[in-house]
Amino acid sequence: MVATTLLDWQTKLRTGGLTATEAITTALDRLERLEPRLNAITQVNRDLALSAARAADERLLRGDRGCMLGIPVVVKDNINLKGMGSSQGSAISGSYQSPYNATVIQRLVDAGAVPLAKANMDEFAMGSSGEYSALGVTRNPWDNSRVPGGSSSGAVAAVSAGYAPYSLGTDTGGSVRLPAGFCGVSALRPTYGVLSRYGVMAMASSLDQIGPIAVSAKDIAAGLSVMTGRDPHDSTSLDLPDASRLPELQASKLKGLRIGLPKEYFTEGLSPAVKDVLETALGRLASEGAEVVEVSLPHSRFAIDTYYLINTSEVSSNLSRFDGVRFGARKASEDLHRMISQTRDEGFGSEAKRRILLGAFCLSKGYYEAFYLKALKVRTLITRDFQEAFKKVDVIATPLSPSTAFPIGSKTASPLEMYLADVFTVTMALAALPALAIPAGFVEGLPVGIQFVGPSLSDVRLLEMGAAFQELTDHHLQQPNLDF
């Protein structure tokens, strides 16, 4: 099957071949038919979606031709959407209903996009597989016995399965990029600050970023064009250079492009079949005039340790507010300490508890300097590695995962093995760099993705380069056969 891109939807809506109401009704019907099989969605407000669709139709009749007008969007369940809950994949969230829209959601709504549903996720965005949700495991649309990747499991699976052409996830250490690779779609982790985090439930604040997910790089650019920009509610937000090129994104020229291959990433841990797919993709770029050269990121061998020391420390701090006093579904008790203990013990899942405990240890007296502070210093060294590499090349190409999507349940008994699934994605998060995941091919019917990383604030150029690759290939247009 050939996937329907956002630009396809856009053309039909603009020419009158499809109304927004028809588009949303079709999307909701497909979602309801396939959901028992995938478990990608946590909640749907059909009335809210159809009301927004009718408003979009009125704007279309008035001649409005905005690039996101009438487009259905799925939203990860840790991003606030007014009138709907935000479970964050956790039992401790209880019956929380968001009283406001996150900045990125408000900007999409103002542009006429239609929020379709909230998406399942690993609890508090902690996971690489989509198996750590209190609302059940999300399944990979290409093979229901395999994981879709995490933590943005539902948001990615929704695009892969054709529920909607656009979705929003969050990426802390690879949470939109890894599942994009497993499910055969495109996803961007922007430069830190390019998208406002206001209205996103914080997990690890110095690493968290909203990540758009779509079929193609051009589709990602369309949504990014209305979401980016400085936000007074988020002091870390910033303006994106060249953002005016996003609405009508054009593929860049590949001739003369210098692509760096970090020698530390193409090691024995990488599946030979995956490596072959990546080499074929890079060969295709080279045939168009790109120059592929070896670079070194010597401190990347410390990336997993550094990432999980920083991540768990920030998790421990951020999740301390879920104690049943102001936040969290309270477990009644006459004793305050017992109430807090029971609320957290019954509300948090195993992975959340593990990271809270590890983070509390890292931040404790006598260990802060040995663990957390040292990790911050190594983070600086990792950032400098990239700065040196970008003096020689324009973009860096890496694998997304050592293998294709693995079977459900195959790694849950070994937290360390699960953490190593992020080995190729955490480095860019530590360095606050933009990283684009796009489909590169298939191994035994399962998608394989490739990751392109650019210098800080090169997001637009990175998307233009991704668009150029996708004009040479059709991997991103392949869709799993879910009709039954």
Indicate which residues carry an active-site annotation. 76, 151, 175
Query: How many Cβ atoms sit within 10 Å of the Cβ of residue 83?
Result: 13
- Is-contact 455 241, C-beta < 8 A? no
Task: Write out the DSSP string of 185-216.
Answer: -EEEEPPTTSS--TTBPPSSTTT-EEEEEESS
Q: How far apart, in Å, do the first and last CA atoms of the chain sit?
A: 13
Angstrom distances, CA of residue 191 to CA of 120, 181, 237, 304, 401: 25, 19, 10, 20, 21
CA atoms within 13 A on the CB side of 46: 9
Taken in order 231, 213, 414, 349, is the CA torsion positive or negative?
A: positive
Four-residue CA torsion sign, 380, 382, 388, 390: negative
SS3 363: helix
Of 177, 426, 205, the C-alpha closest to 303 is 426
Rounded distance between C-alpha atoms, residue 204 and residue 312, angstroms: 8
β-strand pairing of 258-262 with 395-399:
parallel
Compute the distance between CA of residue 147 and CA of residue 141 in angstroms, rounded to an integer.
9
For residue 52, the SS3 value is helix
Pairing of strands 186-189, 435-443: antiparallel
**Paired tokens of 123:** 């609890």
Beta pairing partners, 214:
166, 186
3-state secondary structure of 282: helix
C-alpha 292: how far from chain center = 27
SS3 per-residue string spanning 461-472: HHHHHHHHHHHH
Q: How far apart are CA 230 and CA 440, in angstroms?
A: 33
Residue type, 420: L
